[in-house]
Amino acid sequence: MNKITPDIIRSWKGTRRRIAALTAYDFPTARLLDEAGIDLLLVGDSLGMTVLGYPDTTRVQMQDVIHHTRGAARGVSWALLTADLPIHSYDCPDLAVRNSRYLIDAGAHAVKLEGGQACSAQIRAITQAGIPFLGHIGMLPQHVLEEGGYRTKGRTAKERSFLLDEARAVEENGGFALVLELIVPSVAAEITRSISIPTIGIGSGTECDGQILVFHDLVGYFPWFKPKHAQSEGNVAEEIRKAARAYIDRTRGDVA
Ligand code: KIV
């Protein structure tokens, strides 16, 4: 099988080929998902919650993403491995490029940051440095504290038109694809129709060019919070509890 590249992902725009993407933050998960044939793996800054136990992504540092990217990269031989630039790691274009290079050195094939028009200079600097870039617009988790929660975007005419401009900013500055997070499905569909790069939705309806999900939500490995959009296909949390109880009983000699 040929390795997935940004150009391959881009070439699926307008075809029936949908992009299947998941997060992965370590070697075994990345390897299992890669072997299953996933197209794109994201070392998302959601690792702040799913792996490090923070309440949101606002405390994630570059060292955290670099560390997890190194592990995930060793498990990938087919998927496109993208790594997140965490909050404040792209406050200006030079910093964005420098930190993107650290992620590429750690084994990522592409980077992602949150935002469109306000980050145009950063996105342009990254793509002009030859680093493949994945956009992310809509609900931006790095802004959850200012916004006071995870709110669906695109409910008003003003928000709809803002999101269309955000999408164009990512497209014009060289992004190869664009994540649409928590956007009203009709607006996500309109964005998908109006730009030339593929959209990858999360909580944004079915009319995107692909879907991305947090791995822990897919397999039921984070039972303390389940986003509405995340349809889980497993119950890893229960399997771990069962295995731990069996081990504890066996070790203590409580089993007949
Ligand atoms: O950090 C992350 O996991 C993400 C996805 C939700 C798109 O950005």
The three-state DSSP-derived secondary structure of 178-194 is EEEECECHHHHHHHHHH
**Residue 255: what pLDDT?**
59
C-alpha 251 to ligand 1 mean position (Å): 39
Mutate to test the pocket of ligand 1, among 19, 45, 46 (most ligand atoms within 8 A of CB): 46
Whose alpha carbon is nearest atom 4 of ligand 1? 44
Q: What pLDDT shows up at residue 184?
A: 98
- For 97-109, b/e burial (b = at least 16 CB within 10 A) is bebbebbbebbbb
Rounded to the nearest angstrom, the distance between the alpha carbon of 149 and the centre of ligand 1 is 16
| Residue 92 three-state SS | coil
Give, in degrees to the nearest 5, the angle at Cα 167 between 138 and 158. Answer: 65
Residue 1 banded pLDDT, cuts 50, 70, 90 = low
Q: Let me know: does 40 contact 9? Beta carbons within 8 Å.
A: yes
Instruction: Considering the candidates 166, 181, 207, 238, report the single residue annotated as catalytic.
Output: 181
To the query of whether residue 181 is one of the catalytic residues in this protein, the response is yes
Terminal Cα distance for the chain, rounded: 50
Q: Quote the Cα angle for 94-95-101, to 5°.
A: 95
Shortest-distance atom of ligand 1 to CA 213: 6
| pTM attached to this predicted model | 0.97
Pocket of ligand 1 (CB under 6 A): 23, 42, 44-46, 84, 136, 179, 181, 202, 212, 214
Q: What's the CA gap between 175 and 102, in Å, rounded?
A: 19
Q: How many angstroms is it from 126 CA to the middle of ligand 1?
A: 19
In the chain, what are the domains? 6-213 (3.20.20.60)
Residue 75 and residue 34 in contact, taking contact as beta carbons nearer than 8 Å = yes
Tell me: the pLDDT tens digits for 30-87? Answer: 999 999 999 999 999 999 999 999 999 999 999 999 999 999 999 999 999 999 999 9
- The pLDDT, as a whole number, for residue 256 is 55
Whole-angstrom distance, CA of residue 214 vs CA of residue 163: 23
